[in-house]
Chains A and B, each alone.
Chain A
Amino acid sequence: MSQQSASADRTDAAVADVVVVDYGLGNLRSVTRGLERAGAAVTITDDVDAISSADGVVLPGVGAFGEGMENAGPFRDTLREVAESDTPLFGICLGMQMLLTSSEEAEKAGQGDAKGLDLIPGTNERFATDLTVPHMGWNELDVQREHPIVDGVDGEHAYFVHSYYAVPDDEHAVVATTDYGHDFASVVANEDGTVFGTQFHPEKSGETGLRILRNFVDLCVDG
């Protein structure tokens, strides 16, 4: 697969080189445009060297956990190396769920051996059956603790589409929660704060989402 480069919209700011990991998923257009709008120079890539040398890495995702991990298999070691360095690694939706250790979704599909990246220990569980699933639409972010990715978005609405949600082993990994039947983790981060993810789609969450993408790009520049 070839690499596609694009220039930044926010030309006045220091530009961060951000890669969006292409592991065979369809629409990466919105996340790419959103990151460009936030000031990043974006490369969509499946090249491990490009991933290793970036200022920041985005792991996007739509679809099922088992397939996602299978497709992301060739990048597992590289992504774990990125996590060990200080380079920000940002998982979105399924990409966030893949930062954890396991998922009920894969277990249900008979893919119980499909292991997540295990960068944030924990699992992903399905919403209760008495709720409309998927949880789809705009819902509120309740920030639980400080993290640069959620600067300025407490109490704002973000756009969600998902049936499973992250349950980190360590409660400190929960950066923000959202209420759907009960409070679930809508933003998570590891101990060092360099590996994090949002269950919602910042690239579809209007100004709130663009703010989060700018927070991410600022982290990449600082890093």
Chain B
Amino acid sequence: MIEVRDIRKSFDGKEVLKGISTKYEKGKTNLIIGQSGSGKTVMLKTLLGVHTPDSGQILFDGQDYALLNVEEKREIRTEIGMVFQGSALFDSMNVEENIAFPLKMFTQKSDQDIKIRVQEVIERVNLNGANLKMPSEISGGMQKRVAIARAIVNNPKYLFCDEPNSGLDPKTAIVIDELIQEITHEYQMTTVINTHDMNSVLQIGEHIVFLKNGKLVWTGNSQEIMHTENEDIIDFVYSSDLLKEIRNFHNTKKI
């Protein structure tokens, strides 16, 4: 579990995160949603340790990250898997080498054991046959799968995903969402996903945190978000004409 207590972060005097407190539970897909500029990315990067909060605490399974020494912080980082928006696969490595990378860097496993583990993960994310392909030779959806495989290969406790669906067609986006949710349950990881994709919100949002102008304005799950009366959420969720029509239709039926 990751617990965030009253974190604040400013850049050049402008406060981007304004005292956010929440809990991201183990075995759940936790979503951070909000419009562009709401502080989602800063929030995620702060959780990852890329940014240091000005105040507040981030606790990884009860351990305050700020109080850990360099070696302990490094230890925590090896337990984090990250799926970047653009996949961030290493161009110079093929699929197999990309996935094996964390194992080679952080474990003492033999080459044979690494190969076996990589093959297991490749099969888990349905990438059979793509082992020797270079990132430039595979589709965006496959790149995302490789990124997920690389993130989970070392059995991390925490999985972070920054807009995992961006640039994907709706069908592939659903497949990626389902895959993330399945592996979250299977590996009992604490998964935090940064997204503004409403399909993801409705499909895999087991715990949703809504940010607006750096403030946490709503928390709930995918069922609750459909029925909330919170104006900010309604404004965000039903921003498209299609969804507005659906809501109007739904409300008319209720009357």
Q: Do A and B bind each other?
A: no
Q: Which residues of B does A touch, CB under 8 Å? A: none
Query: Which A residues are closer than 8 A to B by beta carbons?
Result: none
